């Protein structure tokens, strides 16, 4: 009797030691060969397959109508598992599990819930992987050459701009006569409590900040007649100290200067850190409902999602630049708790007349 009991224990131990059967999951992503994150994503996918024994049916392509039609067909037929796409693609909680469910399933993976990623039915299905953002770019070597640290708040920015202007260096390379929207967006978020962004108080706060900056020469000697392309070039060449711009500027920074450039999300004029960034989510990750309802597919899909959401892997998707620039972009994305949107989209009826009045007021200084 004792021998049979021992044999039964050995059989149970052997059964526990057998790994789960390898699964093949279908993954839909927009990281085509034209995307800067393509190589990093493919490398991560290959590493995950080697480490887990699972396999991926990869449907990577440009996020165009053809790709979306293929994705929709796969979701409706129940064959898609992991989906990486833009919010607003028309899916609902019947198609995908919610971010809240994903958080509960992999609590250690750093899943985030952005209210700005709501779908038309109000559900939040995607956890963010990449954002379109606006922030302050800094040439750290220019600041260091003039004995200045990278500003972390509006007060520090104002002080740095005053010091640089007195030394004949352009503090902020933004031509206020054109493409001033990004400067206005960032100033509005900095100049008012975060909850008021997009409302009239944020516009008043932005105007006050910009008047103070212009008063110390922050935008150079003649930002009203300058070309913004020339201003942009002066920053990318490492001549001007700082510039407000979008994520696209990172692609124009020469590789040899990537260690001398950082991106900063300034604390508010009230001295409090901002938990959101100016911008909108561009892509996020979700699991389909059909996958989640299948225990074997769910285990493999959650494992792959966890791998992509790891801080070091998510950073490679969020920031395609290298050096200190890439690190700061990855940190900006990692720290963000949501996106604010852009003022032009939030208050279209007020934005144009307000921006014109702000520029006019600045010109009179």
Q: Are 325 and 262 in contact (CB under 8 A)?
A: yes
Considering the domain architecture, whether residues 217 and 350 belong to the same structural domain is answered as: yes
Q: Does 323 map to a domain?
A: no
- Element (H or E) spanning 25, and its range? strand 24-29
What is the average pLDDT across 224-235?
92
Is 346 found in the same domain as 311?
A: no
Q: What mean pLDDT comes out for the span 179-197?
A: 93
Choose from 11-15, 169-173, 225-229, 348-352 the range with maximum mean pLDDT.
Answer: 169-173
Distance from C-alpha of 282 to C-alpha of 12, rounded to nearest angstrom: 48
Taking residues 157-184, report their average pLDDT: 94
Are residue 60 and residue 119 in the same domain, yes or no? Answer: yes
Looking at the domain assignment, is residue 7 inside a domain? no
The band of 20, judged by pLDDT with boundaries at 50, 70 and 90, is low
Are 197 and 287 part of one and the same domain? no
Residues 166, 49 within the same domain: no
Residue 299 belongs to domain with CATH number: 3.40.190.10
> Is 80 exceeded by the pLDDT of residue 358?
yes
Task: Determine phi and psi for 170, rounding to 5 degrees.
Answer: -70, 115
pLDDT at 291 over 80: yes
The C-alpha angle with vertex 318 and arms to 140 and 326, in degrees rounded to 5, equals: 25
Q: What is the mean pLDDT of the chain?
A: 91
In the chain, the number of structural domains is 2
267 pLDDT exceeds 70?
yes
Same domain, 262 and 155: yes
Range from 10-24, 144-158, 246-260 carrying the lowest mean pLDDT: 10-24
Confidence check: pLDDT of 31 > 70: yes
Q: Which helix (H) or strand (E) holds 52?
A: helix 38-52
pLDDT in tens, 110-119: 899 999 999 9
Q: Report the alpha-carbon distance of residue 338 to residue 342 in Å, rounded.
A: 13
Range with top average pLDDT, 200-204, 267-271, 285-289, 323-327:
285-289
Residues 210 and 186 in one domain: yes
Cβ contact 91:119 at 8 Å? yes
* DSSP H or E run through 256: none
**Residue bearing the bigger pLDDT, 11 or 294:** 294
Asked if residue 272 and residue 242 are part of one domain, the reply reads yes
Q: Are residues 141 and 265 in the same domain?
A: yes
Q: Could you tell me the pLDDT band of residue 10, with boundaries at 50, 70 and 90?
A: very low
SS3 content of the chain, % helix, strand, coil (to 5): 50, 15, 30
Domain interval for residue 145: 133-278+338-363
- 13 falls in which pLDDT band (50, 70, 90)? very low
List C-alpha distances in Å: 340 to 12, 114, 180, 358: 54, 10, 18, 21
Tell me which range, 29-43, 146-160, 189-203, 307-321, is most confidently predicted by mean pLDDT. 146-160
Paired tokens of 80: 């898609």
**Residue 12 in domain:** no
- List the structure tokens of 140: 């750290």
Q: Is residue 10 part of a domain?
A: no
At 19, the pLDDT band (50, 70, 90 cuts) reads very low
Q: How far apart are CA 170 and CA 164, in angstroms?
A: 7
Q: Is 189 left (phi over 0), alpha (psi -120 to 50) or beta?
A: alpha
Instruction: Classify each residue of 66-78 as buried b or exposed e, where b means 16 or more C-beta atoms within 10 Å of its C-beta.
Output: ebbeebeebbeee
- Mean pLDDT (whole number) for 46-61: 96
Residue 222, pLDDT > 60, answer: yes
Residue 191 domain-assigned? yes
Tell me: do 191 and 204 sit in the same domain.
Answer: yes
Q: Is position 329 within any domain?
A: no
Q: Which of the residue ranges 52-56, 132-136, 154-158, 197-201 would you say has the lowest mean pLDDT?
A: 197-201
pLDDT at res. 226: 83
Return the bridge partners of 25, or none.
Answer: 56
Q: What average pLDDT score do residues 152-156 get? A: 96
Answer yes or no: is 140 within a domain: yes
Residue 91 shares a structural domain with residue 227 = no
In a domain, 330, yes or no: no
Could you tell me the pLDDT band of residue 17, with boundaries at 50, 70 and 90?
A: very low
Confidence check: pLDDT of 293 > 50? yes
Residues 342 and 274 in one domain: yes
């Amino acid at each position: 009797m004792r021998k049979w009991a021992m044999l039964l224990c050995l059989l149970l131990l052997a059964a526990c030691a057998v790994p789960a059967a390898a699964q093949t999951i279908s993954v839909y992503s927009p990281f085509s060969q034209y995307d800067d994150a393509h190589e990093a994503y493919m490398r991560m996918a290959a590493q995950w397959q080697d480490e887990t024994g699972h396999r991926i049916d990869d449907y990577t392509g440009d996020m165009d109508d053809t790709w979306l039609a293929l994705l929709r067909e796969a979701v409706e037929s129940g064959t898609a598992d992991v989906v990486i796409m833009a919010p607003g693609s028309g899916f609902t909680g019947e198609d995908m599990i919610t971010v809240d469910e994903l958080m509960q399933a992999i609590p250690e993976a750093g899943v985030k819930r952005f209210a700005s990623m709501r779908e038309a039915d109000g559900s939040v299905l995607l956890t963010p992987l990449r954002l379109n953002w606006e922030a302050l770019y800094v040439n750290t070597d220019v600041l260091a050459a003039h004995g200045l640290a990278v500003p972390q708040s509006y007060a520090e920015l104002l002080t740095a701009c005053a010091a640089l202007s007195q030394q004949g260096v352009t503090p902020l390379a933004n031509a206020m006569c054109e493409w001033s929207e990004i400067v206005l967006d960032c100033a509005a978020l900095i100049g008012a409590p975060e909850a008021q962004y997009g409302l009239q108080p944020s516009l008043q706060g932005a105007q006050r900040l910009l008047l103070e900056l212009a008063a110390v020469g922050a935008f150079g000697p003649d930002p009203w007649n300058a070309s913004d392309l020339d201003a942009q070039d002066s920053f990318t060449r490492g001549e001007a100290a700082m510039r407000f711009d979008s994520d696209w500027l990172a692609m124009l920074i020469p590789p040899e200067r990537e260690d001398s450039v950082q991106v900063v999300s300034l604390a508010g004029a009230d001295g409090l850190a901002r938990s959101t960034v100016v911008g909108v989510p561009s892509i996020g990750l979700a699991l389909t409902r059909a996958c989640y309802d299948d225990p074997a597919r769910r285990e493999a899909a959650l494992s792959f999602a966890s791998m992509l959401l790891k801080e070091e892997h998510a950073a490679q998707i969020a920031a395609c630049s290298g050096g200190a620039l890439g690190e700061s972009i990855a940190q900006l994305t990692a720290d963000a708790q949501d996106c604010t949107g852009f003022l032009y989209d939030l208050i279209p009826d007020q934005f144009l007349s307000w921006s014109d009045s702000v520029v006019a007021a600045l010109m009179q200084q």
